[in-house]
């Protein structure tokens, strides 16, 4: 039997009791994930047990950029001199 499945985050998911041990992650999933979804700032997927709604894990994909000056010299040789896109 499958212990858990991954599915897109939805309003039905119970995240109040989620605890990763990392306050910033717990704060995000409990209080900010809905705004990220609503504003399309990221896409969150949650781990739940089959047939359950309690979140036991999650990850969020969000686009971002690193300033060119933040990159190590060896990484910048062939790159244009502007922010480099990343997926967080």
What are the structure tokens assigned to 52, written together? 């359950």
Q: What is the pLDDT of residue 73?
A: 81
- What is the per-residue pLDDT across 31-82, written as a single tens digit (0 to 9) for each? 999 999 999 999 999 999 999 999 999 999 998 988 888 888 877 778 888 8
Q: What is the pLDDT of residue 13?
A: 97
Q: What is the pLDDT of residue 66?
A: 86
Residues in the chain: 88
**Tokens 């969020």 belong to which residue?**
60
Q: What is the pLDDT of residue 36?
A: 92
Of 16, 82, 8, 24, the closest CA to residue 54 belongs to 16
Q: What is the pLDDT of residue 85?
A: 85
What are the structure tokens assigned to 17, written together? 């009791």
Q: What is the pLDDT of residue 79?
A: 82
Domains of the chain, earliest start first: 5-87 (3.40.630.30)
């Amino acid at each position: 039997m499958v212990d858990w499945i991954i599915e897109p985050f939805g309003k039905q998911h119970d995240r109040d009791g989620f605890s990763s041990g990392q306050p910033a992650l717990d704060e995000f999933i409990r209080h900010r994930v809905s705004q990220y979804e609503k504003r399309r700032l990221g896409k969150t997927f949650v781990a739940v047990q089959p047939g359950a709604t309690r979140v036991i894990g999650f990850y969020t994909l969000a686009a971002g950029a690193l300033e060119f000056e933040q990159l190590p010299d060896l990484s910048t040789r062939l790159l244009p001199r502007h922010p480099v896109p990343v997926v967080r």
